[in-house]
Amino acid sequence: MADVASPEPVKVCVKSAAGAPDVLGDCPFCQRVLLTLEEKNVPYELKLIDLSEKPRWFLEINPDGKVPVIDFGDGKWVPDSDVITVIIEEKYPNPSLVTPAEYATVGSKILSSFFKFLKSKDPSDGSEQALLDELHALEDHLKDHGPFVNGEKISAVDLSLAPKLFHLEVALAHFKGWSVPENLTCVQNYTKVLFSKDSFIKTSPAKEFVIAGWEPKVNA
């Protein structure tokens, strides 16, 4: 149940798919916010934003033009997925998705390591090994504390990591024919569980839009 103080659905602006303005797009930070709302059963109204042709009303409420942004019902639009997810936790404390401070940075370098490897044209530049190091660190943590980062219950850090790991899996398979090593069994199980959750399936972009989103960056 949503908090009684906010009977109206919250409004959330997220990226639409490239070339398909009526379809949910490939922004992992937008999906993180949607996952958080879904896991807390907070009703929301989705507004899809074509970032290649931002509507005037959107730029009026959000001059920076970035997504996600959310309106909790007071007419104020709040940007930044880090900020938004903290506010969601404060406004809708049940079920709790709080990650203990000591685990909050688990996996935090995976996205940047993935991006460097994805863009790399030099097999000897160390970018693949840097990504493997981050994935091995996640493997070691999950081995000791899993199945989720904070044990048996999903928490905020998992909802931040899930979209990034999905992008990693889809983009590296497509552009490099690369996949997470099979011997990282805890990471393999972790992604399988996350990607099969109803909240993830409902908020996940189609693989072709993930690929289309990364294509210009890979070929830059």
Closest CA to 178 of 138, 216, 218: 218
User: Does residue 55 contact residue 68 with C-beta atoms inside 8 Å?
Assistant: no
- The residue behind tokens 């890979």 is 218
Residue 186 is among the residues annotated as catalytic for this protein: no
Residue 60, judged by CB atoms within 10 A of its CB (0-12, 13-18, 19+), counts as exposed
Closest CA to 36 of 72, 66, 77, 62: 72
Of 13, 27, 30, 186, catalytic: 27
| Rounded-to-integer distance, Cα 4 and Cα 91, Å | 10
Instruction: Give the other-Cβ count within 10 Å of 193's Cβ.
Output: 16
User: Does residue 13 contact residue 70 with C-beta atoms inside 8 Å?
Assistant: yes
Residue 49, judged by CB atoms within 10 A of its CB (0-12, 13-18, 19+), counts as buried
Return the active site residues.
Answer: 27
